[in-house]
Structure 1
Amino acid sequence: MKQAEFPDSVIEVKFGTWCLNIKRQIINDGIVEKELEPLLFKILSYLILNKNTIITRQNLIDDVWCQSYVDDNAINRAISELRKILKSPNQAALVVKTHYRKGYSFVPNVEFIESGYQSPNSNPVNELDSKEAAKPVAKKYTVWVLALLIILLASIVVSLFKWTATKNEVKIIDKSYQEEVLSMKDGSHSYLVLSPNEKNIAFIVSKGGVGNQLINKELDTGKEKSLSKPGYKLYPVGWSHNNNEIIYWQSNGLDCQVFIVDSNFSGESRYLFDCSHLPFSGQGVNDTSLVYSKFGYRNRDELAVLMNRNLITGEEYQISSPNLNSYGDQFLAYIKGKNKVVFERHQLDSSELYIADVEGGSQTHLYTTKNRIWTLKYHQGSDSLLWYDNVDRILYQYSLGNQKLLQKISMRGISDYSSTMPLNPSEMLAIEYPFSVRIHQLDLDNFNFKDMMPKDIYPFNAQNTDNGYIYYLFQDAQIVKLAVLDTTTGTVSIKSNSVDFREIRVSSDGEELLTIKANEIEVRDTAELNLKDTITIDGNIINVEYLNNRNIGYIVRGNNTTSNKSYLYDRETKKSILLPISNPIWFEQLSSSKYIFLSAQNKLQIFDSWNNLITHEFEISPVLYMHSFTLDGDKLFHSDGLNIYLYDFSLGFEVKAELVYTLKDNKLISQLSYANGQDSLSITTIETNNNKLIKVVEVPQ
């Protein structure tokens, strides 16, 4: 493997007229500054670091893409886009050279700038002349004056920055809205997809069982046409560019295929390609091309990438490069007049809004928000993007022309929504929130599946214990509370009426809990919630688990160019130890020397820390909703969102996954927690209820 990352000491690289800033991943020629997307930054870095070598396509596949196979078109497009970015009036000379049937090489001379850099030819001591040496007091005075001036200027700059930031901050505006019912069919409405001409809306209605209906509704007349297939569930992907066809995917629980059909549902559906079982969206951008989100990128079934697919030939190429430590890129909108695609990059702790052309070039980051951007609408009249935050109930409007946020509207008088589609700042299509979250207990002796929660409680992050208690968080009027459920009596006790964390872990004996924040773990007793220890993390935490002897394991998220890192926090020494586990998503401890973890490639692997090697590897079932794991003793349970599997390692490490339970009645699994002492699983489920399709309209002032 060739060198692919710069040493930590290198902060900039100069070549030709360009200067590459390593930390910010930008290039600057003194006039123009350009931001590099992660893939292009990695390719450029790789070429620079291996300057005197011809880089083959296989080198790029192995060391940059880090995959066993990459389509030639993807490599061609990436090199072409890199060359476009490296062009400028000041840089006419060739930067990346193609060697026929061999590969590529980097042409310009390179200068590496290191932190604390000082030219080896300079010697400040020898450069002091006798006159300066004879006046040390004057020099010291000058130094102090310069230092004070620098501090004063820095204070002025900081003050101006704070004043400008406060002045430019977009304040939330309160507006009142009212709701009009568009559809109240018996069943659950979901998956809104607006036609490009905004005259029709596609959605589905489900009512238990296996099948559902795909509906095309005219917004002006209210007329509807429906499509259904016995034994299959249908889901809309998007529309053709001319509004005449609807693209959808269907699943019978085993197979998943994408079809296209005329919007009147009068003709035969035409098969396009196979898909995963996760919802995705896209849109036709011309007569032959579909831009869509494709799951399974880099062999991770929950990681999506944007693809441009030719619907005639079936050829496709990727047009985005999400980092491995994320959930990838979700298609949001196609802007026909600009030939641009807008998409969300779903990071582990935030959502980023991007725009790019349909071939993947000119990718630009627009905005970052803490909550998901599920859907988005381009409003041509104001050249702006509209999206609704269904957590904070805020309607956002972002100007593409000025590349800044225009307004944030707090929408009053409305219901909770699961899916929305803004039409303009005054009107929005929406689907009422149909989900209820419950905690069930599965007795593994008799497989009795029991609902444990009182009504009107919406819990999350449930933790099962050996003493028969389930700890969980729930939200009440926007306030998160901590509660405990006695599974024997069914009584609930509130442990805290307000908490500032959204995730917990509880020890198997129920005596201790971990409260988890973005970069901090607190250890508390469960009796009085007294603080016992605080672990401050350098980075963002993506997973925390109790390990053996009440030690704590945690994973810190990597950035665009680095992998996730896993640590063991020793409770006795209060020190964190880095574990040599490659890019984990989740991990637990099986014994003093063996750890089991989920890799970024969706494989369960057992790592032997004594011998520093992976001893066993397990394929897991494809995700149907989301993966969840729980381990206590020798038993590991895994859910794909619908099914629950058991790995019983008391039988050895050659054991196969055993299917122990499958959920029914329109339920999905969001979390598992196993208590070995009770031999039971607490299962957090999401259930779908009847709801309505509505139109939200601003109330005139």
Structure 2
Amino acid sequence: MKEVSFSRTVKEVRFGAWVLDPKLQTIYDGEVKRELEPLLFKILCYLIINNQQIITRHDLIEDVWCQNYVDDNAINRAMSELRKVLKSNQQRGLVVKTHYRKGYSFFLSAEVIYFDNQTEVINTLTPSKEEPDNTQSFSTSNRIKLPLIGSVCLAALVSIFLIYKPVLPTEPDTEAVSSFESNYEEHVLSWVDGEYANVFSSPDAKKVAFSFTPNGLSNSNLVIKDLDSGIERKLAVSEKSISPIGWDEDSSRLFYRVDGADEVCEIWSADADLESGGDKLFDCKDRIYRGSGVGEGHFIYSKYNYRQRDQLSVVTYRTLDTGNEFQLTSPNLNSYGDRFLLYEPSIRRVFFERRQHDIKELYMTDLDGSDKTKIFSASSSFWELKYVKSTNSLVWFDNRTNLIYTYSIDGNKLSSIAQLPLDTVTYLGHSFISESKMVATTFPHEQSIYTVSLDDKSLTPLINEKYIDIKAVRAGDDVYFFRVQGEEVVVMYAEKSQGGYRYSELAGGINQDILYDYNNKLLILKADRSIKVFNEANELIDEIIEQGVISDVNVLKNGDIGYIVVGEGGVGSHSYVYSVRSRKKSLLPIKNNVWFDTGDGNRLFYLTSDDRLKLIDIETREEYLDIDFPSRVSKHLIVKSEAHIYYANGNIIYRLVDGEWTVFMQLEGGIKVINMSYSPQHKQLVLGTLKRKNNQLVLLDINAEP
């Protein structure tokens, strides 16, 4: 595996007319300043660092995309875009050279400037009739021994490669994995009525931190519990909520977030005994949910609103006394970004989750972010990791399937899968103390379906069963809705009968979105790469299949289906309109949007990848609307009625009136919106909701005798 990015000690890189700023990911030629997309930035750095050899397509797939397969067209598009970005009035010559049937090389010499004002010159590839070898050789002046540039420290690089091997297949072979059923005992750790959340066990396994909201109150307290003595220490701030976000690597201090009115967000730290008081570290514009202290005075965390996109996060390394930050990862703009999971000091590795549209990928990297390796892929999220030093393994829990996975870093594969009983309580937050002990919270929410009348704003239960029901659409008097069952999201059909509904399961699998065309009586289901259309008799009558991931789907006012496809490798997106009548699709003249719907005439509403809602005429390109959202969100919930656009965030539903967002209604009783659809027949919003309820903090003793 070749080096992909520069060390944080690099201040700038000069080549031709350009100056590259690795921290800001920008290039500047004295006149024009351009911000590079993460993928293009990675390719550029990769070509410069590995300047003494031809980079093959296989190299790009393995080291830059970090995948097993990338379509040639995706590579061609990325290289074409990079060449366009590198052209300017000041830089007209060749920068990236194509070697026929071999690959690419960086054509210019590059000068690397470090913060200590030392310089390294990376010369261009020397022309040769011989095939390039696989070693890196730099011709440098004033050479500096830094481990992140090329092969300056070959022995260290080789030792790292031997321990941390390349990428696993997307679909790992689990036939040879040891799979077994496991029992456990559950011990209640706290008996006070209220809501327990945000569980973080200390690295030394002696304490657990969590947030607790007492019955009848809206703000949470911070609690640290000693697992040996059972003693609890609490921290509360008037009219503010406190939530733990992680520990220092030696368990001496806890990091926590303080949330107040007007979106106030602050990051603090305190000694583990909470006796000496806390220290404010910095303000956080966007909420931070997980982090870890590193060494003396450093902090790693997931930073949201990356590139001005609410849902996009990046793993960030911060020096606390100066506030200086640099990003360890470069997520693709057509993904949900990277979420920090764990820093393990014994091997000096950072583990994070990359959230693609169709899959979750587990990565590890070093503290410079230069040695990234994808080690596993799954359909479910990696909520928390435990590193087991004795076996050099990772352990995680999938709370949708009650499976505990153990992954061997040395073997580069799953080593075991333990199945906990499925007919037990559902656990939400969890944190491993050891391989066989886990602190968890029981599920703290009721999930039900409500309707809201657009006329009188009345809130009425629609589906209120003791299951995890997350989204619904109305079909006359009947209802179709999603129900979570283990790792599946199944489609349920609620047929209206005397005194209520008769329920039946219509379709299994992992469904992602559900819509209903009331005029044509059609049910529409979206999965990763397909859209299925069912008639009134619930018979499959049509199916749209795409090679790329379908990120969004919508029923347009004329009965056509609008949808968005993310390109292979996560590069770019395209919007299509599909006619169910003619079974033909057409491409819309908009790119890199995440949602769209039709307006009057040729007008089109769409949400851009940088979270702006626009209204344009698709023929004349005249723009009628360009607005931001009233608050930062982790998920955009947008529907369009005949007259307005509605947008939900938490317990507030907004309505767009005369180009401005106004509060349509605020839900009471701890209810929050997680999904939303519109029923034109009933003039109602149909809401998938969460409602707080009391839960418990428990200790699971796994493999214990029942």
Change (3 A) 1:182 1:499: same
Equivalent in 685, 698, 703 of residue 681 of structure 1: 685
Report the Cα distance in structure 2 between the residues aligned to 1:328 and 1:186, rounded to whole angstroms: 36
Q: Note if contact 1:543-1:555 (Cα within 8 Å) is conserved in structure 2.
A: yes
Deviates more, 1:571-580 or 1:508-517: 508-517
Q: Note if contact 2:174-2:414 (Cα within 8 Å) is conserved in structure 1.
A: no
Q: Does 1:198 align with 2:205?
A: yes
Residue 418 of structure 1 corresponds to which residue in structure 2?
Answer: 428
Matched AA of 2:676: L
Q: Does 1:436 align with 2:440?
A: no
Matched AA of 1:352: E
Residue 695 of structure 1 corresponds to which residue in structure 2?
Answer: 699
Report the Cα distance in structure 2 between the residues aligned to 1:167 and 1:380, rounded to whole angstroms: 23
1:601-680 to structure 2, matched below 5 A, reads 601-624=610-633, 626-648=635-657, 654-680=658-684
Equivalent in 52, 61, 67 of residue 25 of structure 1: 61
Q: Note if contact 2:310-2:634 (Cα within 8 Å) is conserved in structure 1.
A: no
Q: Note if contact 2:595-2:606 (Cα within 8 Å) is conserved in structure 1.
A: yes
For residue 558 of structure 2, give the secondary structure of its aligned residue in structure 1: helix
Q: CA deviation at 1:384?
A: 0.8
Residue 223 of structure 1 corresponds to which residue in structure 2?
Answer: 231
1:131-142 to structure 2, matched below 5 A, reads none
Change (3 A) 1:366 1:499: closer
Deviates more, 1:248-257 or 1:303-312: 248-257
Residue 189 of structure 1 corresponds to which residue in structure 2?
Answer: 196
Q: Does 1:365 align with 2:379?
A: no
Q: Note if contact 2:449-2:471 (Cα within 8 Å) is conserved in structure 1.
A: no
Change (3 A) 1:426 1:26: closer
Report the Cα distance in structure 1 between the residues aligned to 2:284 and 2:622, rounded to whole angstroms: 34
1:593-604 to structure 2, matched below 5 A, reads 593-604=602-613
Residue 517 of structure 1 corresponds to which residue in structure 2?
Answer: 527
Report the Cα distance in structure 2 between the residues aligned to 1:173 and 1:82, rounded to whole angstroms: 56
Equivalent in 451, 459, 470 of residue 449 of structure 1: 459
Instruction: Give identity over the alignment, percent.
Output: 24
Q: Note if contact 1:565-1:581 (Cα within 8 Å) is conserved in structure 2.
A: yes
Change (3 A) 1:599 1:47: closer
TM-score, length-scaled by structure 1: 0.77
For residue 283 of structure 1, give the secondary structure of its aligned residue in structure 2: strand
Change (3 A) 1:448 1:634: closer
Report the Cα distance in structure 2 between the residues aligned to 1:81 and 1:689, rounded to whole angstroms: 60
Change (3 A) 1:395 1:295: same
Deviates more, 1:444-453 or 1:476-485: 476-485
Change (3 A) 1:245 1:624: same
Report the Cα distance in structure 2 between the residues aligned to 1:97 and 1:599, rounded to whole angstroms: 47
Deviations 1:523-582 (A, max 9, x none): 2123x1122222222222111110122100011123445112111002333111111212
Report the Cα distance in structure 2 between the residues aligned to 1:533 and 1:167, rounded to whole angstroms: 34
Residue 506 of structure 1 corresponds to which residue in structure 2?
Answer: 516
Report the Cα distance in structure 1 between the residues aligned to 2:453 and 2:86, rounded to whole angstroms: 59
Deviations 1:210-243 (A, max 9, x none): 3111100111111110111121111111112332
Q: Does 1:551 align with 2:560?
A: yes
Equivalent in 136, 154, 163 of residue 91 of structure 1: 136
Higher-Rg structure is: 1
Matched AA of 1:226: K
Report the Cα distance in structure 2 between the residues aligned to 1:35 and 1:313, rounded to whole angstroms: 42
Unaligned runs of 5+ in 1: 7-11, 61-72, 99-161, 649-653
Matched AA of 2:241: K
Q: CA deviation at 1:632?
A: 2.2
Report the Cα distance in structure 1 between the residues aligned to 2:472 and 2:453, rounded to whole angstroms: 16
Q: CA deviation at 1:96?
A: 13
Deviations 1:248-277 (A, max 9, x none): 112124211212222222234322222245
Residue 545 of structure 2 corresponds to which residue in structure 1?
Answer: 536
1:487-502 to structure 2, matched below 5 A, reads 491-494=500-503, 496-500=505-509, 502=511
Q: CA deviation at 1:307?
A: 0.7
Equivalent in 299, 312, 323 of residue 332 of structure 2: 323
CA-based RMSD: 4.0
Deviations 1:65-106 (A, max 9, x none): xxxxxxxx99999xx99989x9998332359999xxxxxxxx
Report the Cα distance in structure 2 between the residues aligned to 1:561 and 1:74, rounded to whole angstroms: 32
Report the Cα distance in structure 2 between the residues aligned to 1:55 and 1:195, rounded to whole angstroms: 53
Q: Note if contact 1:27-1:35 (Cα within 8 Å) is conserved in structure 2.
A: no
Q: Does 1:308 align with 2:317?
A: yes
Q: CA deviation at 1:34?
A: 12
Deviations 1:181-224 (A, max 9, x none): 11232111111112122211110111343311110011111111
Deviations 1:323-352 (A, max 9, x none): 112211111111112221111112222111
Q: Note if contact 1:283-1:290 (Cα within 8 Å) is conserved in structure 2.
A: yes
Q: CA deviation at 1:453?
A: 2.4
Q: CA deviation at 1:498?
A: 4.4
Q: CA deviation at 1:691?
A: 1.3
Report the Cα distance in structure 1 between the residues aligned to 2:88 and 2:278, rounded to whole angstroms: 54
Q: Does 1:232 align with 2:240?
A: yes
Q: Note if contact 1:417-1:431 (Cα within 8 Å) is conserved in structure 2.
A: yes
Q: CA deviation at 1:412?
A: 2.7
For residue 55 of structure 2, give the secondary structure of its aligned residue in structure 1: strand
Unaligned runs of 5+ in 2: 1-31, 41-45, 97-111, 126-131, 144-168
How many residues end up aligned between the 2 structures? 601
Q: CA deviation at 1:609?
A: 1.1
Change (3 A) 1:477 1:627: closer
Report the Cα distance in structure 2 between the residues aligned to 1:622 and 1:523, rounded to whole angstroms: 35
Report the Cα distance in structure 2 between the residues aligned to 1:188 and 1:659, rounded to whole angstroms: 28
Report the Cα distance in structure 2 between the residues aligned to 1:423 and 1:43, rounded to whole angstroms: 46
Change (3 A) 1:180 1:44: farther
Q: CA deviation at 1:522?
A: 1.8
Change (3 A) 1:341 1:27: closer
Q: Does 1:246 align with 2:250?
A: no
Report the Cα distance in structure 1 between the residues aligned to 2:547 and 2:241, rounded to whole angstroms: 45
Q: CA deviation at 1:464?
A: 3.7
Change (3 A) 1:415 1:93: same
Report the Cα distance in structure 1 between the residues aligned to 2:236 and 2:664, rounded to whole angstroms: 32
Report the Cα distance in structure 1 between the residues aligned to 2:622 and 2:498, rounded to whole angstroms: 47
TM-score, length-scaled by structure 2: 0.77
